[in-house]
Structure 1
Amino acid sequence: MAEKKLPKGIRKNGNRYQGRIMFHGKNYSVTGATITETKKAMTDLKYRLEHGLFVEREKVTFDSWFKTWIKEYKQNDLKTGTLISYQNYYNFYIKEPLGKMPVSSIRGEHIQKLYNKLLDDDMALSSLKIISAVMNGCFQRALKNGLIERNPVKLAELPRKKQKTERRVLTLQEQELFSKYSQESYLHNLFALMLRTGMRSGEARGLKFSDIDSKNNVIHIRRTLKYETGRGFFEDAPKTSSSMRDIPATPEIMSIIEAQRKINREYSNVVSIDEYIFHLPEGTPISRERVQAEIDRILKKINETGSHVERFTSHCFRHTFATRAIEAGMQPQTLKTILGHSSLSMTMDLYSHVLPNTKAEEMQKVASIF
């Protein structure tokens, strides 16, 4: 069977099609996965050439293209927090090694070298995957726009998964020690709430009195509090759609919130339902750094008494809550909804962490059947 005749200016190049345009005596080319896609790219290129909108791809640096990609293709598509995260990952890890290079000159080995360096610097594989996803999206759009012939990210390989570091979970003794020595802390109620609900730090710090349903004893998680240099504090949607959730509030949890309300009345006679439950006396929101500094201060105090509790971050409260819940027999699906996990597999990963500690007991239960 004779091969289908290609339209004028289009030729087959491997698995893709290449379209060529002559403009003012100079050749320009685009690529596409199909003839139709290539023809459209040629039409777009011709328009840009005729209207002075075309910039030769050899002159487009990865830095300038990343800014274009963010502004024109992602700014109205992503949550503010995600957008900031993309820009931070680029500025901290990608810009220096690749930013000044022409986007068309970046090859698979450049991406691979970046992966290997970041891994040698002990970057977590999860963070490396985010960096890879950001670059892949950026280069994929460059490919569609005819700036590059192929996506170099697809030519590199992410390193194999490193062995997971064990989650930091407070033992019962550590939990009791920390709770005891945090009694005099101005963040005691924040720590107590996080430990009893599994909230993320930003969710707890962004909690308002209007989120508390005292009639039905429910806490509504509707936002997360974030901070960006130059912008200050701002509210963002929770991490995922499943993070937008309701957490049942026990009488103890409600008493913690009421205790904080009384403290806030000492700051101001009127406590608005729209104010953050946890804030500084002048009304300023509490930053993640302040939370960590206070945890470190309490740990130092504990360790000075002769007891020893290793350093941990506020996320440890979330893992500790999940561990205590599993130990108490809470079912995976229930824990998933309370934690706001996007998939059951994330919750089951917590179970695999806790269950080895109790499997001997469970085996004894099974043995009693025989």
Structure 2
Amino acid sequence: MAKDLKGKELPVGIRQRKNGQFEGRIKHDYQSYSVYGNTISEVKKKMVDCRYKLEHGIFVEKSKITLDEWFLIWVKEYKKNDVKIGTVITYSNFYNYYAKDSLGCKKLSQIRGEHIQRLYNKLEERGLAVSNIKTLGAVLNGCFKQAVKNGLIERNPIQLATIPREKNKKARRVLTLEEQKIFIKYAKNSYLYNLFALDLRTGLRGGEMRGLKYSDIDKSERLIHIVRTLKYESGIGFFEDTPKTRTSIRDIPLTDDMISLLENQRKYYSEPNIIKLNGYVFHLPDGRPISRERVQNEIKRIVKRINDDGVVFPPFTLHALRHTFATRAIENGMKPQTLKAILGHSSLAMTMDLYAHVLPTTKAEEMNMIAGAF
């Protein structure tokens, strides 16, 4: 039995090296594996972990594993049971689109801070939004952080790189009150009119709106329960996921005009007295879900009609209707905490950012309100 540097007997499979560090050796399928630690208890724990990984086929050798290999292990073993399916898909998409070609074949232990920095810089040169580079950085940071914990690398290279600064942040598109009236007028004959009109009154995210079901409408309590978001992924198809954040699961009060819109939508494709509680409120004639692309194409079609009639009307996305709702709410005096709850923001700071972008006329009105104080 091996002894430590002071002559004390050590547990089976553990020895102490001349530098004072302890080494634990494990045999599996006629091969030897070593783990290291500063204490016997640390080495014992690592031996148990190593033996488990070897027996379950998830052990990876520090010197050989590539980022591609480790990313797949990280997603499968550490993320799939910890985050939403939509989040897992987002992680994989960002890695595959932006990092795989540049870094995937490199050994994990060989990736340095300058490699990450070079990747960030190239993505910026290609015109990728800084917000997307930040998301990629967050994904890679989680991946490398776990690699450090597992002893595969000594240092997280993400911490040695700097995400480029945002030069010209794109202005948030908000429909003016006049644009809002024009759009709704031209959208009257659209099969998505009720969706657009309801979105302007609730500020729902696109996936939340498309994932809304009749079972979520509580007329007795006059509430809409937001409990899911509808997503689409190539190779998977449509699937339901939980809303974006914990605070996104929320109730929105129903007004009389919102109830009318929902009633009109119910009658649009079906008999007035038939309600499919598990069916989507907004769907195609055959009952299939509506994709984000279909909604955006319908917005483009309506905007084109407006422009064809000689009215200058800049393009916008469905998400602009969410910002438009928030702006109308601010203009009409809704309190920040109330707006935060209705929008499902995870922090008040996100809501206050909207207040900082209210229309110039609103800013002027607010300034005039305090003019007499000086």
Structure 1 length normalisation: TM-score?
0.88
Does structure 2 conserve the Cα–Cα contact (< 8 Å) formed by 1:11 and 1:19?
A: no
Give runs of aligned pairs for residues 149-298 of structure 1, distance below 5 A.
149-265=154-270, 270-298=274-302
Of 58, 83, 103, the residue aligned with 1:78 is 83
Distance across 1 between alignment mates of 2:19 and 2:88:
38
Of 38, 49, 67, the residue aligned with 1:62 is 67
**CA distance change for structure 1 residues 30 and 149 in 2, over 3 Å: closer, same or farther?**
farther
Deviations 1:302-341 (A, max 9, x none): 1111001111110000000000110011110110001000
Q: Structure 1: state its 5+ residue gaps.
A: none
Does structure 1 conserve the Cα–Cα contact (< 8 Å) formed by 2:63 and 2:109?
A: yes
Percent same amino acid at aligned positions? 60
Deviations 1:167-192 (A, max 9, x none): 00011121111101111111111011
**CA distance change for structure 1 residues 53 and 287 in 2, over 3 Å: closer, same or farther?**
closer
Does structure 2 conserve the Cα–Cα contact (< 8 Å) formed by 1:19 and 1:39?
A: no
C-alpha displacement of 1:49: 7.4
Does structure 2 conserve the Cα–Cα contact (< 8 Å) formed by 1:219 and 1:248?
A: yes
C-alpha displacement of 1:343: 0.5
C-alpha displacement of 1:31: 6.6
**CA distance change for structure 1 residues 369 and 23 in 2, over 3 Å: closer, same or farther?**
closer
Distance across 2 between alignment mates of 1:189 and 1:51:
53
Distance across 2 between alignment mates of 1:11 and 1:128:
43
Distance across 1 between alignment mates of 2:101 and 2:242:
31
Does structure 2 conserve the Cα–Cα contact (< 8 Å) formed by 1:199 and 1:339?
A: yes
Match in the other structure for 1:138: 143
C-alpha displacement of 1:228: 1.1
Deviations 1:45-92 (A, max 9, x none): 577679997543332111111111111111111111111111111111
Distance across 2 between alignment mates of 1:215 and 1:171:
34
Match in the other structure for 2:319: 315
C-alpha displacement of 1:134: 1.1
Match in the other structure for 1:363: 367
1:348 is aligned with what amino acid? Answer: M
Q: Aligned to 2:346, what secondary structure does the other structure show?
A: coil
Q: Aligned to 1:160, what secondary structure does the other structure show?
A: coil
Structure 2 length normalisation: TM-score?
0.87
**CA distance change for structure 1 residues 35 and 187 in 2, over 3 Å: closer, same or farther?**
farther
Q: Aligned to 1:226, what secondary structure does the other structure show?
A: strand
Deviations 1:86-107 (A, max 9, x none): 1111111111111111111111
User: Are 2:12 and 1:8 equivalent residues in the alignment?
Assistant: no
Distance across 1 between alignment mates of 2:157 and 2:114:
8
Distance across 2 between alignment mates of 1:113 and 1:209:
50
**CA distance change for structure 1 residues 54 and 169 in 2, over 3 Å: closer, same or farther?**
closer
Q: Structure 2: state its 5+ residue gaps.
A: 7-14
C-alpha displacement of 1:368: 3.4
Deviations 1:283-303 (A, max 9, x none): 100000100011011111111
Q: CA RMSD in A?
A: 2.9
**CA distance change for structure 1 residues 269 and 247 in 2, over 3 Å: closer, same or farther?**
closer
Does structure 2 conserve the Cα–Cα contact (< 8 Å) formed by 1:69 and 1:138?
A: yes
Distance across 2 between alignment mates of 1:57 and 1:83:
25
Match in the other structure for 1:97: 102
Distance across 2 between alignment mates of 1:157 and 1:20:
38
Of 99, 112, 115, the residue aligned with 1:110 is 115
Count residues in correspondence: 361
User: Are 2:306 and 1:302 equivalent residues in the alignment?
Assistant: yes
Give runs of aligned pairs for residues 315-334 of structure 1, distance below 5 A.
315-334=319-338
**CA distance change for structure 1 residues 98 and 31 in 2, over 3 Å: closer, same or farther?**
farther
